[in-house]
Structure 1
Amino acid sequence: MKELYLMRHSQTLFNQLHRIQGWSDSPLTKQGIEDAQEVGRYFKDQQITFDHAYSSTQERACDTLENITDQPYTRLKGLKEWNFGVFEGQSEQLNPHDDSSRHSYGDFFLQFGGESDLEVQERMNQTLTTIMEQPDHHHVLAVSHGGACFMFLQKWLPYDEIKRQVTNFHNCCILKFTYEDGKFTFIKAINVKEEN
């Protein structure tokens, strides 16, 4: 049984300023750097090691991973955050209400040059499946983003279960899955601050 640890990046300046941060980028805060280093210590303490590591091509994800471990890693565009089109860098107050049937922003951002929820979900699922299908990949760490991780989680876990099992999806939250026969199974959400 293969294992995937899918992690949301650390806190950034835009997170702090409550700005929409999709394909745009901003640096990790001091807190973000410290939190990522704490995750690194957690993995060491728990004796969790990875044969392969991956990151979104975005700086905030790469910097998070580099503060967790010094092992080599691969950057993949498929792990990037949701593209929010012209809303990039704007106040989070401009985010639309969730599409109640899809429990996400649905197709809203398509009209503004961004992606739909299902496009993000398909991209993430395809990328992570390709990663886990490789024969020498048994314990994998992948650092991605809030929206992208949440859409991937929705593919494999019913929304009611997400609400019940993932009560805190802040920066540095880790979603643990197993992978077998082309299917991901959600195991648990790990918030290192709550574990320590």
Structure 2
Amino acid sequence: MAKTLYLMRHGQTLFNKLHRIQGWSDSPLTEQGIAGAKQVGAYFKSHDIHFDHAYCSTQERASDTLELVTDQSYERLKGIKEWGFGVFEGESEVLNPQPDPVRQTHGDFFLQYGGENDFQVQERVVKTLTAVMERPDHQQVLAVSHGGASFMFLRRWLSIDEIKRRQIRFDNCAVFKFSYDAGQFTFESVHNLDDPD
């Protein structure tokens, strides 16, 4: 029987607002980020969506978001933290490189600066979320993660062309719904804050 994973991006942070590269560094949620997380919590409640387990990354912006969405207990997981950008963290987003023409991501760029490449991020997030969904009594799970990590997770299951065709966005507080069965995730839908309920 298929299980369900809701993978959520954290609420807006100060660095998001200032267009700074965040990665493994952290910054607090803004008022907008707090309001957005509460809005997602209300969305889940109004649609009668409940979770038997909840998880978030080890970064404060993810745990703060989760605590605004639900008051249930949760576990923090290093495996779903954001892409590490090395010495670029805290710097302006204008310093981000152009996407690798083949991989359509930052590729290996950040490796030379103490960060991760796209495949490393993808491998750890897929491995971590697969292990979570294989746990007993995990039928409907919420996991709060990050934009880059969520993007690389989705890239494992959808091509970049399909992501563009569907116009999938990775906004703050976006909620990606996946079904899970026998080691495979299937993308079902995404809900953004400005989507009609």
Deviation at 1:166, TM superposition (A): 4.0
- Kindly indicate whether the alpha-carbon contact (under 8 Å) linking 1:165 and 1:188 is maintained by their aligned counterparts in 2: no
Deviations 1:90-128 (A, max 9, x none): 000000000121110000000000000000000000000
Match for residue 165 of structure 2? 164
State yes or no: 1:133 paired with 2:130. Answer: no
- Runs of 4+ in structure 1 deviating by more than 6 angstroms, as ranges, are none
Which residues in structure 2 correspond to 1:33-182 (within 5 Å)? 33-182=34-183
Q: Which runs of 5+ in 2 are unaligned?
A: none
Cα deviation 1:52-104 (Å, max 9, x = unaligned)? 00000000000000000000000000010000000000000000000121110
Question: How far did residue 192 of structure 1 move?
Answer: 3.3
Alpha-carbon distance in structure 2 between the residues aligned to 1:67 and 1:193: 18
Q: Provide, for residues 134-181 of structure 1, a one-character-per-residue CA deviation record: whole Å limited to 9, x for no partner.
A: 121000000000000000100011111111224322100111100001
The percent of aligned pairs where both chains have the same amino acid is 65
Give the gaps of 5 or more residues in structure 1.
Answer: none
Equivalent residue letter for 2:63: C
TM-score, scaled relative to structure 2:
0.98
Q: CA RMSD in A?
A: 0.8
- Contact residue 156 and residue 185 of structure 1 kept, 8 A: yes
Q: Which amino acid is the alignment partner of residue 195 of structure 1?
A: P
| Distance in 2 between residues matched to 1:183 and 1:37, nearest whole Å | 30
- How many residue pairs get aligned? The number is 196
> CA contact under 8 A between 1:166 and 1:189: conserved in structure 2?
no
Question: What TM-score do you get using the length of structure 1 for normalisation?
Answer: 0.98
